[in-house]
Structure 1
């Protein structure tokens, strides 16, 4: 089948999550500096068969796009140019950061580890991917 790769795009850091080849389980992959994201994806896609990108779609409570959508749209255009054969789907990412933080608390992580924003981004990407898988 191939893997689905989720992207929780951020101005500084971007969280990534990926499914197994059967597209059953979502797992955190990594958090990378956004400036290095395309290079990371190129390397990853050489090693792994990715069939779909799922990119978080930040929305406000009134369902309007949030301010960060202005940063994501140019990234999506670049993603389309660099990987023209891999389709892109969007998933509402409202509350994923809060849910990620709560997941860290529920799993017993120390306060010091909960301050790790890179881990929050990776968990958020995993939640975006799980949301996509549930909707299928």
Structure 2
């Protein structure tokens, strides 16, 4: 069975998570500089079969798009043009960064470790993906 990939897109860094081949468990894959994302995805897709990619949809508390929505929407369109064979699933990403930070606290990471923004991005992508998998059941 092909994997599902999750992307927590940011202007500087992008967190990436992926499912196992049975699409049961989401695991953090990496955080990379955003300017390297296209090359990373091309390489990853050449090695692994991926059926869908989750891309966060940033919203404000009132449900309207947040300030970063236009940048992420632009990335989603770019992705669709580059990889037309891969389904894009947009998911609400409200609170994922806060949930990721709380996960780091609950995991016992010290203050210095919790300041690693790349780790927060990777955990955020993992939370998006695990929530999606849970909602499919």
User: Would you say same fold, with TM above 0.5?
Assistant: yes
CA offset digits 1:80-134 (Å, max 9, x no partner)? 1111100100111100000000000000001111000000000000000011111
Aligned length: 136
Q: 1:130 maps to what in 2?
A: 130
CA shift for structure 1 position 42: 0.4
Alignment-derived partner of residue 89 in structure 1: 89
Structure-2 separation of matches of 1:52 and 1:64? 25
Other-structure match for 1:118: 118
Which secondary structure does the structure 1 equivalent of 2:101 belong to?
Answer: helix
For 2:56 and 2:73, how far apart are their aligned partners in 1?
11
- Judge conservation of contact 1:55–1:91 (CA < 8 Å) in 2: yes
Once residues 82 and 21 of structure 1 are traced to their aligned partners in structure 2, the CA distance between those partners, rounded to angstroms, is 23
Report deviation, 1:135.
Answer: 1.4
CA distance in 2, matches of 1:43, 1:113: 29
Q: Give the RMSD, CA atoms, in angstroms.
A: 0.6
How many Å separate the matches in 1 of 2:96 and 2:42? 26
Report the counterpart of residue 2 of structure 1 in structure 2: 2
Counterpart for residue 64 of structure 2: 64
SS in 2 for 1:77: helix
Gaps of 5+ in 1: none
Taking the aligned partners of 1:92 and 1:130, their CA distance within structure 2 comes to 13
Query: TM-score when scaled to structure 1?
Result: 0.98
Query: Which whole-Å CA distance do the structure 1 matches of 2:132 and 2:110 have between them?
Result: 29
Residues 36-88 of structure 1: CA deviation (Å, up to 9, x unaligned): 10110000111111110000111100000111111011111110111110010
Question: 1:30 matched to which residue of 2?
Answer: 30
**For structure 2, which runs of at least 5 residues remain unmatched after alignment?**
none
SS in 2 for 1:120: helix
